[in-house]
Amino acid sequence: MKAKSFFEMNDKELSNKIAELKADLFHLRFKHATNQLSNPMVIVQCKKDIARAKTVQNQRALTAKKANN
């Protein structure tokens, strides 16, 4: 996913998407361990998507914290 799509989500949707991506990563790791995964680069892409989503979430938290001060 592109970072732009994460910016377009609200906080609740973003939290749900992170949980969904983490679950996907778990299943991908399981498939990789049992040699059922045809393309192991999918794991790398999933990790990057999680990092992008968490970055957007962290930026929003810092922005909210600065607005409160």
Domain boundaries, the chain: 9-68
Report which of 62, 64, 60 is spatially closest to residue 18, judged by C-alpha positions. Answer: 60
Longest CA span, the chain: 51
pLDDT of 69 > 90? The answer is no
Q: How many CB atoms lie within 10 A of CB 29?
A: 13
Give the CATH number of domain 9-68: 1.10.287.310
Quick: pLDDT tens for 8-41: 999 999 999 999 999 999 999 999 999 999 999 9
* pTM, entire model: 0.91
The token duo for 8 is 């377009």
